[in-house]
Amino acid sequence: KVFTSKLCTTLHTPEFEFHGGAQSQHYECPERREAILKYLESHSDSFEVTEHVEDFGYEPIKRVHKQGFLNYLETAYDEWILEGGHPNGVMPSTIPHYRLARLGGQTPTNSLTNAGEYCFDMSAVITKDTFKAAWNAAQVTLTATKDLVRVADQYEKGLAAGTIVSREAPPGLYALVRPPGHHAQSDLCGGYCFLNNVGIAAQWLIDRPELRHKDGRPKKVAIIDIDFHHGNGTQELFYKTSNPLYASLHGRDAYPHFTGAATERGEGEGLGFSINVPLPRSTSDDEYVEALEKLIQEHIIPYDADYIIISLGVDTFKDDPIAGFLVTSEAYPRIGNAIRKIGLPTLFVQEGGYCVEKLGLNVGGILQGFLG
Ligand code: Q9C
Ligand code: ZN
């Protein structure tokens, strides 16, 4: 089942960004959703699409993001325009680098001057309705998460009653959303991301009192991030906790460049619960699938989660315009199948993937591989 909303196409459409210092089209474009939707709708034997979205309000978002940051996202564009900023949207002109920041203790006062306070790069352009768009993506993801609880319940009951005989065909749901989320930290946007959809969903599952095990333990969530880029945002949100587990396969030294080393393993109670597997630029189908299977065997299975959430990026694709692996469309069903074999209820949440022409095929491939 696929959860999405028309608003994921219409609300957030910046005109341009910068690549290597040159102005370029905005790769995280509305056509991305349209392309994926078109593929899924043309395979209606496998996929049922719903645009039903529930409103979970502010609370689940505030569990992972700071209030000042949320206020900023909501008001930045109007202030930016008032101060004479370019209508394309808010982009920082300075960022409080750790060697620059607060030498004199000065805090800039409006969105033209303080964009860098809440933003770590120039790709997360805030337009007029960006906050609404990010809010909507989070609500669609939460709607799918609530349904995950329902299908997981049915699955467990079926297993207990013997009407389901093995964990061979776990239930899976997909949130087709944009803007994506995995680069968004508790109080920073960046990398096309504003609100961390996967982080919000994971925390929501962990928080639900009615979902607790009989002995009072919260449900355990394992996040597997298969986007080409390291999910610095999700990692930051959960760096100091053992639940959820965050595990990422990504391009070594690729964007966001300063995070994602194998040595980043979590801190305190979270030590060992952030797992980073950087892979070289030349990574091929076999190498990628092997690395994923190894990650699953060594870290995901032993973690013994109740739910799996996949940060689903297909910018690992060989023709992706902003990434660098050699993965082909043949690999995606194999990736989906490796995830299916974990045997747990799984929520897929859309992150990156910018080769619009093959986006439907590649995302659809993962989902079809999962369905078996
Ligand atoms: N030349 C996701 O896939 N591009 N974000 C920066 C570098 C930002 C990717 C420009 C890439 C962000 C969700
Ligand atoms: Zn990405």
Give the residue, out of 123, 188, 234, with the most ligand 1 atoms within 8 A of its beta carbon, to mutate for a pocket test.
Answer: 123
Burial of 38 per CB tally in 10 Å (0-12, 13-18, 19+): middle
Q: Quick check: 107 pLDDT over 90? A: no
* 21 C-beta closer than 6 A to ligand 1: no
Q: How far is the CA of 122 from the centre of ligand 1 (A)?
A: 10
At 154-212, the pLDDT tens digits run 999 999 999 999 999 999 999 999 999 999 999 999 999 999 999 999 999 999 999 99
Q: Quick check: 106 pLDDT over 80? A: no
Segment (H or E) for 346: strand 346-350
Atom of ligand 1 nearest to the CA of 228: 3
Q: Which of 9-23, 88-102, 193-207 has the lowest mean pLDDT?
A: 88-102
* 147 C-beta closer than 6 A to ligand 1: no
Does the predicted interface ipTM exceed a cut of 0.95? yes
> What's the CA gap between 325 and 57, in Å, rounded?
38
The domains found in the chain, sorted by start residue, are 2-61+129-371 (3.40.800.20), 67-118 (no CATH)
Q: Give mean pLDDT, residues 85-92.
A: 94
Mean pLDDT estimate for the chain: 96
Nearest protein CA to atom 9 of ligand 1, as residue: 191
What pLDDT, on a 0 to 100 scale, did the predictor assign at position 102? 64
List the 2-3 sheet strands across, edge first. Answer: 49-50, 2-3, 172-175, 346-350, 307-312, 221-225, 245-251, 274-279
Task: Return the C-alpha torsion angle 56, 60, 61, 67, nearest 10.
Answer: 120
> What's the CA gap between 300 and 347, in Å, rounded?
15
Q: Quick check: 101 pLDDT over 70? A: no
